[in-house]
A and B are shown apart, each in its own frame.
Chain A
Amino acid sequence: MTTIAFWVLAVASVLSGYAVFRVDSMARATFALALSFVAVGAILLLLDLDYLGLVVVVMMVMEMAVMAVFMIMYMMNPAGLMPMSMWHDKSRAMSIAVGTFVVLAAGALLVDWPERQGPPPPDITRQLGQGIMGSKMLVMMAVSAVILSTIVAALVLGSARSRYDRLGDDLDKRRSTDPVRGGVGR
């Protein structure tokens, strides 16, 4: 039963992943990618990773919802109404991808992987929690610093006019230069 579920989910995730780059609309591509992520989340559930599987599904569905907004902002081919080619260098990309797959799959099949060491613990989520609050705390501290700098960097990159545009590089202008009158600079 688990095996059948695994193969169905595996095929679904690969096919919908491939569909991302074959459908003729970026909105459809977003949903195909979301489907691929949900299938991977379900595979994690099959591996007894209840918490992480759920996290992947919930996060990726939300992420694709956000992505859909940006997709519409930067859409090349709205709703697939205007048939057009969205790719370049297709044959070379395909041969590189197939080559990568062959090398990786050969490695996966030929390497003599180590034996399993012991059964999973009774409470798997507890193991993760103990891990990130204990022996793997450095990882989570590094991740938190990186996420904070991501927030700052994304805001700086995404904002059109910041206080430096209004008040000069040293923030020492007495009046802010606004594009329209009536703001803080009057």
Chain B
Amino acid sequence: MSLEALLVLAAALFAIGLYGALSQQSIVMLMMGLELMLNGLIVAAAAFWYFVAPQRPDGQVLVLVVVTVMTIEMALGFAVQTAVFRSDEVDLTDQATGLSG
């Protein structure tokens, strides 16, 4: 276990999340891709804390912030999905064209 191995793992999780966020049709699945990207961030922040600066709390606080961002993304994502579905009966990204110019 080394800093490089953890960062490569973080990059893999981030890239898979990006693939999901770009390729999924369902808005809910798109949000799962975003969650997976944030999951990679957790790994990277924890790795930097452990392998670079374990005597400062910065890395731990960053993990806490990312976990918070995940919950906020979930809550607001589902709220937006509910609002969009209520107004247009849309649950696919391809149909959610309300903002397309």
Q: What is A's interface to B at a CB cutoff of 8 Å?
A: 2-3, 6, 10, 13-14, 17-18, 20-21, 26, 29-30, 33, 36-37, 40, 43-44, 46-49, 52, 55-56, 59-60, 63, 66-67, 70-71, 74, 76, 85-90, 92-94, 96-98, 100-101, 104-105, 107-109, 113-114, 116-121, 124, 127-128, 130-132, 135-136, 139-140, 143, 146-147, 150-151, 153-155, 157-158, 160
Contact = CB atoms under 8 A, between A and B. Distances in A.
Interface in B58-101: 58, 60-61, 63-65, 67-68, 70-72, 74-76, 78-83, 85-86, 91-94
A108 to B, nearest CB: 3
B67 A136 contact: no
A124 B60 contact: yes
Contacts of A105: 7-8, 11-12
A42 B58 CA distance: 20
Contact of A36 (B5, B13, B93): B13
Candidate in A17, A66, A98 with the most chain B CB atoms within 10 angstroms: A17
A74 B15 contact: no
A33 B32 contact: yes
B28 A63 contact: no
Contacts, number: 236
Contacts of B52: 113-114, 116-117
B6 to A, nearest CB: 8
Nearest to B7: A108
B80 A120 contact: no
Contact of A154 (B24, B25, B68, B76): B76
Interface of B: 1, 3-20, 22-29, 32-33, 35-36, 39, 42-43, 46-47, 49-58, 60-61, 63-65, 67-68, 70-72, 74-76, 78-83, 85-86, 91-94
A49 to B, nearest CB: 6
Contacts of B11: 100-101, 104-105, 108
Contact of A14 (B13, B46, B56, B93): B13
Contacts of B12: 14, 17, 101, 105
Given A3-B1, A21-B23, A109-B4, A26 B13 contact: no
Given A52-B60, A67-B28, A124-B60, 15 more contacts: A13-B39, A17-B16, A17-B36, A43-B6, A43-B46, A49-B46, A88-B23, A89-B23, A90-B23, A94-B23, A108-B8, A109-B8, A114-B52, A143-B68, A147-B72
